[in-house]
A and B are shown apart, each in its own frame.
Chain A
Amino acid sequence: MSDLNRLASMLMELDDQMAACMKCGMCQAVCPVFAESMKESDVTRGKIALLEKLAHEMVKDVDEVNEKLNRCLLCGTCAANCPSGVKIMDIFMKARVIVTTYKGLSPVKKAIFKGLLDRPKLFNLLTDMGAVFGSPFMRSADKTIGTKSCALLTPLIGKRHFMPLAKRPFRKDYPSLDTERGESGLKVAFFPGCVVDKMFPHVGHAVIKVLNHHGVGIYLPENQACCGIPTLASGDLDTFLSLMRKNVEAFDGGYFDYIVTPCATCTSTIKETWPKMLDDANSDIKEKVQELADKAMDINQFLVDVVGVKALDHKAGGKVVTYHDPCHLQKSLGVAAQPRELLKANPDYEFKEMNEANRCCGNGGSFNLYHYDLSKKIGERKRDNVRASGADVVATGCPACMMQLGDLLSQSGGGVDVRHVLEIYAEMID
């Protein structure tokens, strides 16, 4: 069997799912990448058509198809709006795995994923060093948000305004925790996620403060690993599965009602992607993965739906806060009302809805790395909407969105703060 033959037969496994796309083209109305380029290969229908053609060996240039496949934020907006209910995210993830398996992972990604992400201890050590050594070369870009820029890093990351690695990662303050159920009678496992641990430890602190305040017991085991989504999005199924296993082991043995995260992407990965990607070799942990998936819940949703936090009577005045819906919360998990409820609970803020609050900010994880210009263009619409709302603060529920919003607002003159919903909510607790 020729190589292309082999690739084609692997892709044919997706044929049933792809056949459900009736090529109606309605995805053109919602895809943020298509809105910028207006190219058919950038919208779902085009990508599915190309994959089908690859499966049937009607196109030969795998690199080109791969490149098109990667011009996608995996934001799930198309899936949420597709009239045929095509399982678009499953198709895209699996296709990335298949194409990457065929082509091999690039050496850089291999080094980062297998050499670093899959070794959480080494990853932690290096990022800790980065936090110490990186600082002298960085310049403050926006004081409100705390972004930096760095001429030395321009060849690597362009002129981004980024959040520096935290001086003290969350993990240092809370290497582990196992507290009793309090008044609420509830206990949760806490999965902070890489970005909160390394860049936004204050978000992790806010979560702890809020959980303590509501009398929720916390189980925070050591040795948590990355949720794995960056590796899967790059088609590296092996590392993804290995990270999933590490996490299952880390949480094994604890007793808790829910596993909560302040990261929209981590929640949707644990809840939806982990069980889907299990393969035969990993079937021994199937039940545990499913159990974690069933218990996984976004922290906003947990506080409102389970603990029962309610908005106070709306009061005018105070700082104006608006809310950006992370795709993984709104489109994948259907969590939209709860974060707004939490923001309205803080009487020092006045909540104001922005236009197109649920439109993708353009980050898309590594999409931002490989397609920075496109990512920025998509984000500029978000930035304009934030600014037009007149908000002093934009809150959201995903640290990746926080990075993107920080870059966009900081580059455009700053002055608008970027916060996690939990930080705003935590402010009202002494």
Chain B
Amino acid sequence: MSNDKLMKEFEAIVGAEGVMNSESDLHSYSYDSAVLDPRVPAFVIKPSNTDQLGPVVKLCNDNGLPITVRGAGTNLSGGTIPHPGGVVLLTNGLNKILEINEQDLYAVVEPGVVTAQFAAEVASRGLFYPPDPGSQAVSTIGGNVAENAGGLRGLKYGVTKDYVMGIDFWDVNGDLIKSGSRTVKCVTGYNLGGLMVASEGTLGVFNNIILKLVPPPKAQKAMMAVFDNIDKASESVAAIIANKIVPCTLEFLDNASLRYVEAFTKAGLPVDADAVLLIEVDGHPAEVAEDAEKVVDLCKKIGATSVHLAETAEERDKLWFARRNALPALARAKPTTVLEDATVPRSQIPAMVRSVNEIGKKYNVEIGTFGHAGDGNLHPTILCDRRNEEEFKRVEAAVDEIFDVALSLKGTLSGEHGIGMAKSKWMEKETSKATLEYSLKMKRAIDPNNILNPGKIIGG
């Protein structure tokens, strides 16, 4: 079909308002938060209700038009960089919270609901939706599910997948497929919802999503432990867990990150420290008091040079200020910020951080590392200038080596940011040829015309 005709067809489904194809509109949907080259779609389609999703997908399938679903476009792996000449399908107009059920502790939302707005609405009913990716002020629930996004609370509360009770999604024929239910238990058929989690728009287009809610913790206590040696920091992480304490948050900042954050915030951080751990325990007040005390003792015993316990809400905020500012501080240092997502078993954190620093020296690139020590999810962040081709080549080589090391330490390519285009070339290395082939076969069966976000995750 000619583009003019296609445009008419799209307009018939979503209205003239919902179809964009001017040069500047197309170019403004050619990129996402990943440091990758932009690619320009042929149409940007913005449905205003979820019933329009099925017909849009069908029209694309009938015409072999590749579709890339886009929530907020904050993913860091190129998952929303469209196929050249394809369609970008925007979900940010589909942002209704359909139900918050306070009796049965679940909610039903449309895919474009913004994470933080949802969490706030849930909190206003005295309930809790824990997944809190750093991008939550703008990211969408659909994007969170498609990336299986995690956050600071991952260690104790898990990640997005732990809260998905069911997803309805559109297949390429424009039919609505149902998965899961509003019940805590449900084993009706294949776990199709599970298949959709982390599928990055390659297997179906999410419609409504059913999410689990939990009661909020009654109390919390935060502290900062300072170390002159990262081994001691990671030993402390292991010791805390071995002592059967699961903090809700256990974050790590290395010396480079500390120095950058301090230079930017002048918050009085220990810039001579090799590493700090930011720890928060939550739960019942009595349990929190006891756990906090134990954590302080453990860190001190293992060799923390100091442990600072926040006594007031203000002090607590001050502690988290440092962690929240890690990325902004690093981002201000140089024009380009390559935020990586290498994740290792937590016992391997010292080995990983040491290797990252060696790699930085070897390739002469600046790297600051911070991340979720509790779950081994590190964010080595490379500071560079993308326009400097020679330097960027070194950056790419350094990234390659970082993943080599992560895999050799029995880690994984991505703890939370997804594979997208950025890391698909590594998939076989972490998994196996057979795994990729199995995945490709499944994808071909579900999406024979390969229109659902082609080229992402498994390539193809």
Selected from A16, A22, A28, A50, the residue in CB contact (under 8 A) with B24 is A50
Which chain B residues lie closer than 8 Å to A38 at the CB level? 46, 90, 92-93
Selected from B20, B92, B135, the residue in CB contact (under 8 A) with A24 is B135
Stretch at the interface among A61-69, A161-169, A175-183: A61-69
B28 touching A22, Cβ below 8 Å: no
What's the nearest-Cβ distance from chain A to residue B108, in Å? 21
Distance A301 CA – B33 CA, assembled complex (angstroms): 39
Selected from A40, A61, A84, the residue in CB contact (under 8 A) with B73 is A40
Interface residues in B96-147 by Cβ distance below 8 A to A read 116, 135, 137-138
Distance A22 CA – B336 CA, assembled complex (angstroms): 6
Please, what's the 1-or-0 string for A32-57, where 1 marks a CB less than 8 Å from any CB in chain B? 00000011110000100110010000
Which chain B residues lie closer than 8 Å to A19 at the CB level? 335-336, 385-387
B328 touching A61, Cβ below 8 Å: no
Selected from B25, B29, B74, the residue in CB contact (under 8 A) with A25 is B74
Q: Is B425 an interface residue (CB 8 A)?
A: no
Q: Is B327 an interface residue (CB 8 A)?
A: yes
What's the nearest-Cβ distance from chain B to residue A331, in Å? 17
Residue of B nearest to A82 (CB): B328
Distance A359 CA – B20 CA, assembled complex (angstroms): 29
Which chain A residues lie closer than 8 Å to B93 at the CB level? 38
Which chain A residues lie closer than 8 Å to B327 at the CB level? 83
B332 touching A85, Cβ below 8 Å: yes
Selected from A15, A25, A41, A84, the residue in CB contact (under 8 A) with B331 is A84
What's the nearest-Cβ distance from chain B to residue A62, in Å? 10
CB within 8 Å of A: which residues of B?
Answer: 20, 22-25, 27-33, 35, 38, 46, 72-74, 90, 92-93, 116, 135, 137-138, 327-328, 331-332, 335-337, 385-387
Residue contacts A-B, CB under 8 angstroms, 24 given: A22-B35, A22-B331, A22-B336, A23-B33, A25-B32, A25-B33, A25-B138, A26-B74, A38-B90, A39-B20, A40-B28, A40-B29, A46-B28, A50-B28, A58-B27, A61-B22, A61-B24, A64-B24, A65-B24, A67-B24, A84-B328, A84-B331, A84-B332, A84-B337
Which chain B residues lie closer than 8 Å to A83 at the CB level? 327-328, 331
What's the nearest-Cβ distance from chain A to residue B310, in Å? 24
Apart from the given pairs A24-B135, A26-B74, A65-B24, 6 other A-B contacts in the complex at a CB distance below 8 Å: A28-B72, A29-B137, A40-B29, A46-B28, A64-B22, A64-B23
B27 touching A49, Cβ below 8 Å: yes
Interface residues in A62-95 by Cβ distance below 8 A to B read 64-65, 67-68, 83-85
Distance A61 CA – B20 CA, assembled complex (angstroms): 15
Interface residues in A254-310 by Cβ distance below 8 A to B read none
Residue of B nearest to A22 (CB): B337
A28 touching B28, Cβ below 8 Å: no
Q: Is A59 an interface residue (CB 8 A)?
A: yes
A59 touching B27, Cβ below 8 Å: yes
B135 touching A50, Cβ below 8 Å: no
Residue of B nearest to A64 (CB): B24
Which chain B residues lie closer than 8 Å to A41 at the CB level? 24-25, 28
Selected from A16, A40, A46, A50, the residue in CB contact (under 8 A) with B335 is A16
Known contacts A22-B336, A59-B23; is-contact A49 B28 (Cβ 8 Å) = yes
B135 touching A53, Cβ below 8 Å: no
Residue of A nearest to B334 (CB): A20
Which chain A residues lie closer than 8 Å to B38 at the CB level? 49, 53
What's the nearest-Cβ distance from chain A to residue B455, in Å? 20
Residue of A nearest to B114 (CB): A29
Q: Is A60 an interface residue (CB 8 A)?
A: yes
A26 touching B138, Cβ below 8 Å: yes
What's the nearest-Cβ distance from chain A to residue B228, in Å? 29
Residue of B nearest to A85 (CB): B332
Which chain A residues lie closer than 8 Å to B116 at the CB level? 29
Distance A68 CA – B28 CA, assembled complex (angstroms): 10
Distance A83 CA – B381 CA, assembled complex (angstroms): 15
Selected from B25, B27, B74, B336, the residue in CB contact (under 8 A) with A53 is B27
Distance A90 CA – B358 CA, assembled complex (angstroms): 39
Closest 9 CB pairs of A and B: A83-B328, A19-B335, A29-B137, A46-B28, A41-B28, A64-B24, A84-B331, A40-B28, A28-B138
Distance A68 CA – B90 CA, assembled complex (angstroms): 19
Of listed A24, A60, A85, residue having the most chain B CB within 10 A: A24
Distance A23 CA – B20 CA, assembled complex (angstroms): 21
What's the nearest-Cβ distance from chain A to residue B272, in Å? 26
Which chain B residues lie closer than 8 Å to A40 at the CB level? 28-29, 73
B72 touching A25, Cβ below 8 Å: yes
Distance A15 CA – B73 CA, assembled complex (angstroms): 23
Residue of B nearest to A27 (CB): B138
Residue of A nearest to B22 (CB): A64
What's the nearest-Cβ distance from chain A to residue B371, in Å? 17
Residue of A nearest to B95 (CB): A38
Please, what's the 1-or-0 string for A342-380, where 1 marks a CB less than 8 Å from any CB in chain B? 000000000000000000000000000000000000000
Distance A65 CA – B24 CA, assembled complex (angstroms): 6
Which chain B residues lie closer than 8 Å to A46 at the CB level? 28
Residue of B nearest to A60 (CB): B23
What's the nearest-Cβ distance from chain A to residue B121, in Å? 15
A25 touching B23, Cβ below 8 Å: no
Distance A22 CA – B338 CA, assembled complex (angstroms): 9
Known contacts A16-B335, A64-B22; is-contact A24 B28 (Cβ 8 Å) = no
Which chain A residues lie closer than 8 Å to B137 at the CB level? 26, 29
B328 touching A85, Cβ below 8 Å: yes
Distance A158 CA – B57 CA, assembled complex (angstroms): 41
Selected from A20, A23, A68, the residue in CB contact (under 8 A) with B31 is A23
What's the nearest-Cβ distance from chain B to residue A43, in Å? 9
